[in-house]
Amino acid sequence: MQVMVAMSGGVDSSVAAAMLRDQGHDVVGVTLKLWGGESDSGCCSVSDVDDARRVAQQLDIDHLVFNFSEDFDRDVVDPYVADHARGITPNPCIECNRHLKFDRLMARADALGFEMVATGHHAQIVRTASGQPRLTRGADFAKDQSYVLHMLTASQLERIMLPIGGMTKDEVRERATELGLRTAGKPDSQDVCFISHTGGGRRVFLGNRIEMHPARVVDETGTQLGSVEAVELVTIGQRRGLGVGIDGRPRYALDVDVPNRTVLVGAPEELDVSGELLNSFTWVDESARSETLMSNTVSAQASAHGESLAIRELRETDAGLELVWESPTRRVAPGQSIVLYDNDLVVGGGLVSRR
């Protein structure tokens, strides 16, 4: 089988390519050139491309580099900047998976005649009783990436391979060491690839692209308690930089109002809400949608490695998918994703709406 393997220059995709080669597939490694600016983290640096190329040489497979930088700017970087300008907290890694690492890459695979696309993500694809492919959690729960792949549909899953999903990270590194791969001991990427730590981080990155505005920090009575240098950098639930109350307890951001240059703060318990409204919701398939709305085994996850959250009720409205928690739960910042699971099967996910 002809398989295009997305090789990021990390150990996971290196081992994924090796496994598929050893299984007898006709494997070609591809690395995506996404970010054209300065990068000292993530998976977009020049050294990452070089690592992927050298691993491909070690495995004796062809290696290609696709320049998707214009798509990356349009579909990931520009929306990231625009969201911050509106007081929304984006997740660029999810949007990169949605638009680049799967949609765009699969279109290129089609054009070149590849049957399957593979990646080194820690997640698994299983078949339901009806034969439908479904995404489920990886064997290593500490490294599970099903949350950031929740947008994959059943039709996409039919053409995707996740070779290391049934392995732990330690097993992946052991396999890479056995093969003598140069990426065996390489640290995992943790940060947003286009934000440079040495270049001033998020503040400088956004400040070069949008105007930043100081804002008042107020309590529920409207009394000013302090200020922040840039309202565009504050996210709901944030604690750092907001001071403490008269009771000595830290304050948390309860609301971010960019047009009025105001950050509302309060006690941590004031962040608890009874539910969330999700928009832009993506279902794995229509059967998952109907089953989920009637199921009592569905739970939610609000971050990449967050705890499982119990749901009392789901209902579809004109505004989006309303989710009611079993008990009051810490509010999720608008723009972040909540992913629904039926046991360990992903059924879909959507973006938290601004209240």
Tokens matching residue 327? 């008990």
User: Catalytic one among 43, 44, 93, 96?
Assistant: 96
Pick the closest to residue 179 from 285, 62, 57 (CA basis). 57
User: Catalytic one among 43, 44, 93, 193?
Assistant: 193
Q: Cα torsion for 254, 259, 260, 263, to the nearest 10°?
A: 20
Q: Provide the strand spans (E) within 177-271.
A: 215-218, 224-228, 252-257, 262-266
Active site includes 93? no
350 class by beta-carbon count within 10 Å (0-12 exposed, 13-18 middle, 19+ buried)? buried
Q: 3-state DSSP call for residue 157?
A: helix
How many CB atoms sit inside 10 A of residue 70's CB?
Answer: 10
Active site includes 193? yes
Q: 3-state DSSP call for residue 282?
A: strand
Measuring CA to CA, how many Å separate 345 from each of 33, 38, 147?
A: 31, 38, 11
Provide the sign of the torsion angle of the four alpha carbons 301, 319, 333, 187, taken in this order.
positive
Q: Provide the strand spans (E) within 97-220.
A: 116-118, 123-127, 133-137, 160-161, 215-218
Contact 165, 121 (CB under 8 A): yes
Catalytic residues: 96, 193
